[in-house]
Amino acid sequence: MDNLQYQKPEHISLKAHPKLNETWVQERIAEDPSVLGLGDLVLKDKERMQPQAGRLDILLQDADSTHRYEVEVQLGETDESHIIRTIEYWDIERKRYPQYDHTAVIVAEDITGRFLNVISLFNGFIPLVAIQMNAIKVGSHLSLVFTKVLDQLALGLVGEDEEVREVADRAYWEDRGTKETLAMADSLLEMIHAFDPEVELKYNKFYIGLARHDQADNFALFRPQKNALRFEVRLPRSAETEAMISEHGLDLMEYDTRWGKYRIRLARGDVKREGEFLAKLLRQAAGED
């Protein structure tokens, strides 16, 4: 600490700079997509041609999932054409590649309050992220700082959406799965009762959720199948959690980035064999650990 010296940073306008341009910014993002603060992303393409349109600045993909980000960069203040172009390219990509989840990303030096309000109107209908970019000079070094000013709006947790209205019952899930795989969900519910005895199973058409006094609280979901139980637990993604799941020999499926859930396929015997670990995951998801 004694050797550190303070030096006042200088804000640089990239739009007004004689040498630095949009291409330079794109190259910096392409070199290290993590600078955007959107997670562990890899570069899929740059200046990607769009049918009957222009070129998408940057296409990124989550390293461990099928989530893609259509990124448009704007120097200076964002404007109407930037917003329209970003949404247009996002729409083209999602229609061409529907097997992926897609998010539109606007990056600009100045996202004004007016345009932030306009952009926020789309959020919830269009998965949209707005990132403000600042170029900072310290001595002879130049750095880019990216700040997320509008995040993708969570469309409601599972159990709060329209699926909740499509109720089912225990017999429905015994037929869709088996009595044995449904009993695995019962065993996991018993683990929950150890710290919250008022939680009960709530049978819906597409999943079995959790409820307390008939109010959904889906920190975990269950989907009985014929030969397994798909167990989904709402936890932040981390290398430590994934390593523990693998160490316990459980079948870890792709992380659900949209809902923030780990998905684990539990085979016969897994609940009994790894009951202590599964109970720990449930306590963490419920905020009890």
Domain boundaries of the chain, sorted by first residue = 10-150, 162-285
* 52: amino acid identity, one letter: Q
pLDDT for the residue numbered 1: 52
Strand partners, 140: none
Residues of the chain with pLDDT under 70: 1-2, 64, 123-124, 152-167
Which class for 89: exposed (0-12), middle (13-18), buried (19 or more C-beta within 10 A)?
buried
Which class for 226: exposed (0-12), middle (13-18), buried (19 or more C-beta within 10 A)?
exposed
Q: What phi and psi, each to the nearest 5 degrees, are found at residue 86?
A: -60, -45
Q: What phi and psi, each to the nearest 5 degrees, are found at residue 132?
A: -90, 135
pLDDT for the residue numbered 153: 57
For 100-124, b/e burial (b = at least 16 CB within 10 A) is ebbbbbbbbbebeeebeeebeebbe
Distance of alpha carbon 195 from alpha carbon 220, whole angstroms? 14
pLDDT for the residue numbered 123: 65
Quick check: 82 and 96 in contact, CB under 8 A?
no
Quick check: 267 and 228 in contact, CB under 8 A?
yes
- Kindly report, residue by residue over 35-53, the tens digit of the pLDDT: 998 888 888 889 888 877 7
Quick check: 263 and 256 in contact, CB under 8 A?
yes
- Whole-Å CA distances, 138 to 11, 141, 181: 9, 5, 60
| Inter-axis angle of helices 275-285 and 179-193, nearest 10 | 60
pLDDT for the residue numbered 165: 44
Residue 128's H or E segment, with its range, is strand 128-138
- Out of 3.90.1150.20, 3.90.170.10, 2.40.170.20, 3.40.50.300, the CATH code matching 162-285 is 3.90.1150.20
Neighbouring C-beta atoms of residue 51, cutoff 10 Å: 7
Establish whether domains 10-150 and 162-285 are of one fold.
Answer: no
pLDDT for the residue numbered 17: 87
- Out of 3.10.180.10, 3.90.1150.10, 3.40.1350.10, 2.60.40.1120, the CATH code matching 10-150 is 3.40.1350.10
* 212: amino acid identity, one letter: R
